[in-house]
Structure 1
C-alpha cells in the first residue's frame, strides 16, 4: 500500500505546466488589471476631468470627457462631475436693518460651466459646493436682508430680496466657473412677537383704509344729491320765470278743450272763473 501511494506521488511530481503557461497567466492578470484601470463609464448628465500623472496634471485646455465609455492611460485619472442643474437648500439666520434676527429659507439652482470643469477642479476641487456656493449665497443673503425692515420683508419686499440675492450671488459665481440659474426664497420667518405686531398694524391700516373709503363714498353721494337738488331748483326757477299769465291762460284753454272731450264731462261754463277761464261741472 505504501508503495502504491509513493508511486502515485511520483506520478504527480512528473506533471508539468505547458511551456510558457505561467507567463500567459501572469500576462492575462496584468492585462485585466490594466484594462480595469484604463476604462471608465461616464453616465448621463456627467462629464470627466482628465488628470495626467506624467503630463502636467489637470487638463484645462481641452474639452472635458463626455458621456459614455472612455479609455485612458492606466497611470492617468478621471474625476467625474455632475454637469446638469442641481439644487441645494439653505436655511440661514440673518439680521434685518434694525438688528432683528430673521430666518431665511432658499433653494439655489446651479450647475458647473461645462467647458470650465477642468479649471473648477484645479482651483476649487470636488467640494466646490461647500467651498464656494454656500458661503457666497449666505454672504449675499445677509447683505441684502440687512437693507430692509421686518415689515418690508414680511409684506412687499420678498420678490425684491430674491432678485437682489440672485444678482449679488451670480456676480461672484460667474468668476468661479459656476452657472447660477436661480435662487428661490421659500420662506421668511420673523420672531413671533414681531410677526404679531406687524399683523396687528396691517389690520389697523386696512380698517383705516376701509373707513376712509366709506367716508369718501358718503361724501360723493351727498355731493351728488346736492347737485341733483340744485338742478331741480334751477329748473323750477327757470320754468317759473317763463310762465306768464297769457301762457297760463292758453294752457288752461287747451286743458279745458281736452277735458270737454271726455265722456265724463257734462257742463262747461265759459268765463266763470276769476281769470275768465272755463269751469267744468258735472264730472261723473
Structure 2
C-alpha cells in the first residue's frame, strides 16, 4: 500500500513539473488566465488540475517564403525572402494574449502586406540592384509598425530578399544596358588617356619653347663676341691653312684648295 502511495505521489509530482531550458520562457496559465511572472530557466511547479505551463522559444526564428512581388511598372518579380524575428522574454504574455500561440501566421500576414506595399513603389530593376537593401529596410520598418499595433513583444531582426528573379525580357535588357555602360566606361578611359598624352606633349613642347626663349634672351652681344673669339682660337689651332674673313664678330672661313689637295 505504501509503495502504491509513493508511486502515486511521484506520478503527481512529475506531472505537475515543467522544465524551462535555455533559450525558452515559461508562463503559467491558471484557469485560462496567463500569469505575468515569466520563468526564463529552471523548473516550474504547477497544479495540473487547474493550471498548465506554456513554453515558448526566445531564439531567433526564420520564416522562409517564395513570393511574386509587384513592381512599380506592373511586373511580377519572384523572390525568396527570409524573415528573422524573435520573442522578447518579458513580453511573451502580451503576444500570447493578443495573437495566441499561432503568432507566426500573423507575422507572415503582416509581412505579405508590407512587402507588397513597399515593392509597388520601386521598379523591378531596383529589386535586383543596390536598392535591394533600401527595400528590405523599408519593409522591416513597415512590418515593425504594423506588428506593434497588434501586440508588443515581437522583435523583428531583419528582412532578407534572396534569389530575385526578374522577368526574362527585363533581365536581358538590363544585361545589355550593363554591357553598354561597361563599354562606355572603357571608351571614356581610353579618351582620358589620349587627353593626358596630348597634354603631356603640349607641356613638353612648351618647355622646349621656353628653353629656347631663355637661351635666346641670354645671348647678348658681349656673349656672342666672346663665343666668336673662342671660335677663332680653335681655328688657329688647326693644321690646315685657312682664310678667315671676319668683321670681328663672326668668322667666315674660306678653305685653301691647293693646300687641302696637298694635305690629301
Task: Please indicate the TM-score interval, normalised by the length of the shorter structure.
Answer: 0.7 to 0.9
2:82 to 103, 107, 124: 107
Q: CA deviation at 1:195?
A: 0.7
Aligned to 2:124: 150
Q: 1:217 to 1:224 in 2, by over 3 A?
A: same
Q: CA deviation at 1:134?
A: 1.0
Aligned equivalents of 1:260, 1:127: Cα separation in 2: 114
- Which has more strand, going by share of residues? 2
1:188 to 164, 181, 187: 164
Q: 1:153 to 1:66 in 2, by over 3 A?
A: closer
1:272 partnered with 2:244: yes
Q: 1:223 to 1:25 in 2, by over 3 A?
A: closer
CA contact (8 A) 2:80 2:162 kept: yes
Larger radius of gyration between Structure 1 and Structure 2: 1
Aligned to 1:13: none
Structure 2 counterparts to residues 181-220 of structure 1, below 5 A: 181-220=157-196
SS in structure 1 opposite 2:39?
A: coil
Q: 1:43 to 1:270 in 2, by over 3 A?
A: same
Q: CA deviation at 1:260?
A: 7.6
What TM-score results when the alignment is normalised by the length of structure 1? 0.76
SS in structure 2 opposite 1:51?
A: strand
Structure 2 counterparts to residues 133-148 of structure 1, below 5 A: 133-148=107-122
| Structure 2: runs of 5 or more not aligned | none
Aligned equivalents of 1:140, 1:163: Cα separation in 2: 11
Aligned equivalents of 2:145, 2:241: Cα separation in 1: 105
Structure 2 counterparts to residues 40-51 of structure 1, below 5 A: 40-51=18-29
Aligned to 1:18: none
1:163 to 108, 123, 137: 137
Aligned to 2:17: 39
What is the aligned-residue RMSD (CA, Å)?
3.0
Aligned equivalents of 1:280, 1:77: Cα separation in 2: 131
CA contact (8 A) 2:84 2:158 kept: yes
Aligned equivalents of 1:162, 1:115: Cα separation in 2: 27
Q: CA deviation at 1:25?
A: 7.2
What TM-score results when the alignment is normalised by the length of structure 2? 0.81
| Structure 1: runs of 5 or more not aligned | 1-20
Q: 1:275 to 1:69 in 2, by over 3 A?
A: same
SS in structure 1 opposite 2:122?
A: coil
Aligned to 1:77: 52
